[in-house]
Structure 1
Amino acid sequence: MNKNKFNLWNISSVIILLLMLTFIIYPLFLILGKGIFNSETGAFTLSHFIHFFERKFYYITILNSFKVTIVSTILAVIIGLPLAYMLRKIKIFGSKFIQIIVIVSYISPPFIGAYAWIQLLGRSGVITKFINDTFQLNFDGIYGFAGIVLVLTLQSFPLVFIYIMGALKNLDNSLVEAAESLGYSNFQRMTKIIIPLIMPTILASSLLVFMRVIADFGTPMLIGEGYRTMPVLIYQQFLSEVGGDAGFAAAIATIFVIITVTLFLLQRILSRQYSYSMSALKPMQAEPLSGTKNILSHIVVYFITFIGILPQLVVIFTSFLETSGGQVYTGRLSLENYKNILFDRDLNAIINTYKMGLYAIIIIIVIGIFISYLTVRKRNLMNSVIDTLSMFPFVIPGSVLGIALVFAFSDEPIFITGTILIMVIAFVIRRMPYTIRSSTAIISQISPSIEEAAISLGASETKTFYRIIVPMMLPGVLAGAIMSWVTILGELSASIILYSTETQTLAVSIYTEVIRGNFGNASAYSAVLTVTSILSLLIFFKLTGKKEVDL
């Protein structure tokens, strides 16, 4: 009996649960408590919430967030769905390379896109100047709602694209051919056969885009100007409340968590209601077109791909341009920006990003393997709770997590605010789901009979796990870890709240350089981050043997 109680798996479950309660649940409850209890008297109060909903200045940010998110999500589907269909249905020259480019545009942080579009369509942007000089206009740039939607749409459509590409891969094309034989036009086949069949995937990807966009901080902060969203309001109110009454900032964060939890539950309900499996007896094959249709298809695909990757091209190109005063590009090629970030100042931001990211990834891999194994092979009440809590990072916006960790660990007995430790904890919490998801998928594919055979030959259960199961899981685990790594590199919303001068990261450096108007340095930092992301993606392909990302 005692042996069963104190084996490796039960001890691991208890440790992981305690870690989750300490670093996820406790900070969130602390935010709720600060929002509903008076900091001085300790009395229950809803005054902070009433204050939020009494003033349009505050509650309009909810409407702003939903407007931006709904429009961006719809546009992402409008772009991602046809692009995926054309690449699956039509033989496009360089289609594999196009898929990689689209994926690269997805893994880059959204705020890099915001910064790049400021370079192009800001008040002093290249395109803005061309339009104003050529047509004698007074175009003032794409700040505000339009700019936010542009950036988030172009950064989000690849997610829809990736999901739908996977769904179309499993689509039985004989159904489409049957519809064609019955006289259905291309448009009718698309709207009456294909879209209904892949509707669960469209809904799943749309809701993931919705949750990602509504929680984004960097884009509206850089390009929104007067158009404020909930993450921006939380950040601004938290900064103004530091050292004073933090109740109002906590109340806003609580409201935002309620919104994101509701969206998460909606996603789970819809995914269960509309999900079904599809087996492609006759998979869709790309076929060549001829004439005008072929030319138009190539133009559309190449144009969308080019617009998607344009921000990355802009930051890499401008990183090699000389600047005057940091803001005005002279047009001459130069390594001045790289000299500034690599030699004229310390390399803390770059070193911190890689160092803390590496620490976080090691922790993510170890814990991710145990969580996936426990929730698949050792299913019980405790592990079911762990499984549910592991989904919380999908629900908690980065800005809210940052504030929660500050509230929880800025005083004794655990004072870690401003340290590397709290940054690593935030990275682990935010990005662990990628690794857990890939690990769970691969452990589900490993037959339990393999473990039973090893145990029957005299190996202990623990030895079987380490010597057989972990090596079999490793390719999928590392693939998920690389995706976690890529997103850690660009983590801004939690980092901007938690960082100190000693723990500044590349993402924070890009943001602060843009705010200060040092565009040359920002481009150089962005180029370093972009190249690192691309190399990580190439490693992903090498480890998995794939040429596409299945989420």
Structure 2
Amino acid sequence: MKKPNIWTGFTLAILCFFLLFVVYPLFLIMYQSVVDPETHALTFDYFTKFFGRKFYWSTLVNSFKVTICATLLAAIIGLPMAYVLRSFKIPYSKYVNILIVISYLSPPFIGAYAWIQLLGRNGFITQLVNSLFGVQFGGIYGFAGIVLVFSLQSFPLIYMYVSGALKNLDSSLNEAAESLGCNAFQRVTQIILPLVMPSLLAGSLLVFMRVFSDFGTPMLIGEGFKTFPVLIYTQFMGEVSTDDHFAAALCVIVVVITLFLFFLQRIVAKRYSYAMTALKPMQPVQAKGSQKFFAYLFVFGVAFIAMLPQLTVIFTSFLETVGGAVYTGKFSLMNYENTLFSKDNISIFNTYAFGLCAIGIVVVLGILISYLTARKPSLLTNILDTLTMFPYIIPGSVLGIALLSGFNSGILVLSGTALIIIISLTIRRMPYTIRSSTAIISQISPSVEEAAISLGASEFKSFRKIMVPMMLPGVLAGAIMSWITLISELSSSIILYTSSTSTLTVAIYAEVIRSNFGNAAAYSTILTLTSIVSLLIFFRLTHNEDVSV
């Protein structure tokens, strides 16, 4: 039997951290979902209540409708976008790629708010259409609007997955099919599409999980069309009536669904995977004639529409408003004066302070977890590896409810503190850094450490002096992606925040709900510019401006 060492200590310490802040809160939610609050007897009444009333279970049906339609549309846009950009020489394609990634990294609810400005009842495009065609267009609200926002927000994920697959595709297969008489359409449908299908399915399932668990967009533009995450939020945080135990039952249902989707994604990835080595990678060719026209129109048109919400937000942030909701048409800095220089406004400071604290923890734990799982495999590290993925799979609102339920009373009371938000951000976004760190470790030969140990260095000194410096560039790249996503986090923060721990995303959401669109635009612009700068730093560190998965 091996003696306990420092690595066992690290494994147990990190495992305790995840058991305390992930397993315990989720177990408590499961317990609350099947226990009567008065008699403490076992009961399934909350599940019966959900499945027995159409008002409740119809929200789950609505979520599936929205998610399936949005995923299909995202695939219909993302697949040809990746193919066209890989196949043809498109001017400024490097910048188009950056714009697509930026549109994905922005929070979905900002896109919803921006589309309200464009296609709401008093939106610019709505007024233009109504005046030109003499119609009474009701706006973007409801099912169609939710699907539109989610599709435009999610297609970049499909694009990145398929683009990565096309990068590894050997063009000799395409040339062989052409020599056998296959036309362009046949080559795409019979050769390329089957080969990229694993990546397409993997990306689609991730889009499905992301859309299914989002509540910000349907909350803003759903109106009468309620989805399942909105029901969870209103049952736990509603102003009229709340039912914590019923909300817990809803959380259990959504956890079961997302876990099923996660394991389905893993099965699909294993079953439909191809080892492709691009001995002769695809080289973009110069499009000609109508092919060139339609390729340019499609690429630049999609990129423009995807970035339209961000452009709208930035533009309207400089417009003067009356009462926060009515734009005068005059340019002004009043929205920034109301936000940046407001005495009681700490949401901007909180966003950066909480984010930096969370990133510091993410980097340290990410390095340790990836090293332990890659270099010190054991039962404990395998359990740890599985636990670190749980917060990524589980919707943020569910994690927020679980943390609030678990640490609202008892020995360790964290509700209302900055620490609980930092913990939530840390465990929610850590998988990005773990993934990049593990990829770096797999590229470093174990013989490097063995050489250091043979020269008298201890295992830990070898790790600290050799492995960490070699891993750092990849770790920092993953940390920046974690940073971009955590400063955009809404679903858990909206559950956990107080007036003193509000973040930018919470402030934006609150301003939109109060119809203070000018302030919301200013906050959104600050968040968008932060994401853009962070992404540019990511490109600089990785020396690669081609983001693909």
- TM (norm. structure 1) is 0.98
Corresponding residue to 1:300 among 293, 298, 301: 298
Matched, 1:340 2:341: no
Give the aligned residue type for 1:518. N
Corresponding residue to 1:20 among 7, 18, 21: 18
Counterpart for residue 121 of structure 2: 123
Counterpart for residue 495 of structure 2: 497
Counterpart for residue 465 of structure 1: 463
How far, CA to CA, are the matches of 1:16 and 1:242 in structure 2? 40
Corresponding residue to 1:47 among 45, 48, 51: 45
How far, CA to CA, are the matches of 1:122 and 1:548 in structure 2? 35
Superposed, 1:274-285 pairs within 5 Å as: 274-285=272-283
Give yes or no for contact 1:372–1:440 (8 Å, CA) kept in 2.
Answer: yes
Counterpart for residue 548 of structure 2: 550
- Give the 3-state SS of the residue equivalent to 2:328 in structure 1: strand
Give yes or no for contact 2:235–2:242 (8 Å, CA) kept in 1.
Answer: no
- Give the 3-state SS of the residue equivalent to 2:226 in structure 1: coil
Give yes or no for contact 1:176–1:189 (8 Å, CA) kept in 2.
Answer: yes
How far, CA to CA, are the matches of 1:548 and 1:528 in structure 2? 25
Q: Alpha-carbon deviation of 1:374? A: 0.4
- Give the 3-state SS of the residue equivalent to 1:411 in structure 2: coil
Give yes or no for contact 1:241–1:249 (8 Å, CA) kept in 2.
Answer: no
How far, CA to CA, are the matches of 1:305 and 1:354 in structure 2? 29
Q: Alpha-carbon deviation of 1:240? A: 3.7
- Give the 3-state SS of the residue equivalent to 2:350 in structure 1: helix
How far, CA to CA, are the matches of 1:158 and 1:245 in structure 2? 37
Corresponding residue to 1:437 among 411, 435, 438: 435
How far, CA to CA, are the matches of 2:509 and 2:525 in structure 1? 13
How far, CA to CA, are the matches of 1:211 and 1:35 in structure 2? 23
Counterpart for residue 525 of structure 2: 527
Counterpart for residue 373 of structure 1: 371
- Give the 3-state SS of the residue equivalent to 1:415 in structure 2: coil
How far, CA to CA, are the matches of 2:330 and 2:513 in structure 1? 24
Give yes or no for contact 2:490–2:505 (8 Å, CA) kept in 1.
Answer: yes
Matched, 1:357 2:355: yes
Counterpart for residue 266 of structure 2: 268
Corresponding residue to 1:7 among 5, 8, 13: 5
Corresponding residue to 2:481 among 462, 480, 483: 483
- Give the 3-state SS of the residue equivalent to 1:59 in structure 2: helix
Write the deviation string for residues 500-519 of structure 1: whole angstroms up to 9, x where unpaired: 00100000000000000000
Q: Alpha-carbon deviation of 1:543? A: 0.8
Give yes or no for contact 1:37–1:44 (8 Å, CA) kept in 2.
Answer: yes
Q: Alpha-carbon deviation of 1:445? A: 1.1
How far, CA to CA, are the matches of 1:471 and 1:215 in structure 2? 37
Write the deviation string for residues 290-314 of structure 1: whole angstroms up to 9, x where unpaired: 2221112111110000001111100
Alpha-carbon RMSD across the aligned residues, in angstroms, is: 1.2
Q: Alpha-carbon deviation of 1:241? A: 9.0
Give the aligned residue type for 1:349. S
Q: Compared with structure 1, are the counterparts of its residues 93 and 229 closer, same or farther at alpha carbon in structure 2 (3 Å cutoff)?
A: same
- Give the 3-state SS of the residue equivalent to 1:278 in structure 2: coil
5+ unaligned residues in a row in structure 1: which ranges? none
How far, CA to CA, are the matches of 1:240 and 1:328 in structure 2? 28
Give the aligned residue type for 1:74. L
Counterpart for residue 331 of structure 1: 329
Counterpart for residue 287 of structure 2: 289
Which moved further from structure 2: 269-278 or 396-405? 269-278
Give yes or no for contact 1:399–1:493 (8 Å, CA) kept in 2.
Answer: yes
Give yes or no for contact 1:39–1:245 (8 Å, CA) kept in 2.
Answer: no
How far, CA to CA, are the matches of 2:419 and 2:485 in structure 1? 18
Which moved further from structure 2: 337-346 or 182-191? 337-346
Give yes or no for contact 1:170–1:283 (8 Å, CA) kept in 2.
Answer: yes
How far, CA to CA, are the matches of 2:224 and 2:470 in structure 1? 52
Give the aligned residue type for 1:545. H
Matched, 1:196 2:194: yes
Tell me the matched-pair count. Answer: 549
How far, CA to CA, are the matches of 2:153 and 2:241 in structure 1? 36
How far, CA to CA, are the matches of 2:187 and 2:161 in structure 1? 20
Write the deviation string for residues 424-459 of structure 1: whole angstroms up to 9, x where unpaired: 011011101101111111111111111111111111
Counterpart for residue 151 of structure 1: 149
How far, CA to CA, are the matches of 1:245 and 1:319 in structure 2? 38
How far, CA to CA, are the matches of 1:346 and 1:239 in structure 2? 24
How far, CA to CA, are the matches of 1:345 and 1:520 in structure 2? 18
Give yes or no for contact 2:97–2:547 (8 Å, CA) kept in 1.
Answer: no
How far, CA to CA, are the matches of 1:515 and 1:169 in structure 2? 43
Matched, 1:448 2:451: no
- Give the 3-state SS of the residue equivalent to 2:220 in structure 1: helix
Q: Alpha-carbon deviation of 1:125? A: 0.3
- Give the 3-state SS of the residue equivalent to 1:34 in structure 2: helix
> Percent identity at matched positions?
62
Q: Alpha-carbon deviation of 1:412? A: 1.7
How far, CA to CA, are the matches of 1:213 and 1:257 in structure 2? 14
Give the aligned residue type for 1:278. M
Counterpart for residue 399 of structure 2: 401
How far, CA to CA, are the matches of 2:104 and 2:462 in structure 1? 38
How far, CA to CA, are the matches of 1:241 and 1:405 in structure 2? 20
Write the deviation string for residues 162-200 of structure 1: whole angstroms up to 9, x where unpaired: 111111000000000111111111111100000001111
Counterpart for residue 423 of structure 1: 421
Q: Alpha-carbon deviation of 1:29? A: 0.7
Give yes or no for contact 2:236–2:243 (8 Å, CA) kept in 1.
Answer: no
How far, CA to CA, are the matches of 1:42 and 1:245 in structure 2? 16
How far, CA to CA, are the matches of 1:219 and 1:478 in structure 2? 31
Corresponding residue to 2:244 among 243, 246, 264: 246
Q: Alpha-carbon deviation of 1:245? A: 4.7
Give yes or no for contact 2:215–2:230 (8 Å, CA) kept in 1.
Answer: yes
- Give the 3-state SS of the residue equivalent to 1:287 in structure 2: coil
Give the aligned residue type for 1:116. A
How far, CA to CA, are the matches of 1:419 and 1:271 in structure 2? 40
How far, CA to CA, are the matches of 1:528 and 1:437 in structure 2? 28
Counterpart for residue 114 of structure 1: 112
Superposed, 1:60-209 pairs within 5 Å as: 60-209=58-207
Q: Compared with structure 1, are the counterparts of its residues 348 and 285 closer, same or farther at alpha carbon in structure 2 (3 Å cutoff)?
A: same
Q: Compared with structure 1, are the counterparts of its residues 244 and 131 closer, same or farther at alpha carbon in structure 2 (3 Å cutoff)?
A: closer
- Give the 3-state SS of the residue equivalent to 1:49 in structure 2: helix
- TM (norm. structure 2) is 0.99
How far, CA to CA, are the matches of 1:29 and 1:241 in structure 2? 26
- Give the 3-state SS of the residue equivalent to 2:320 in structure 1: strand
Write the deviation string for residues 470-501 of structure 1: whole angstroms up to 9, x where unpaired: 11111111111111100111100000000000
Counterpart for residue 312 of structure 2: 314
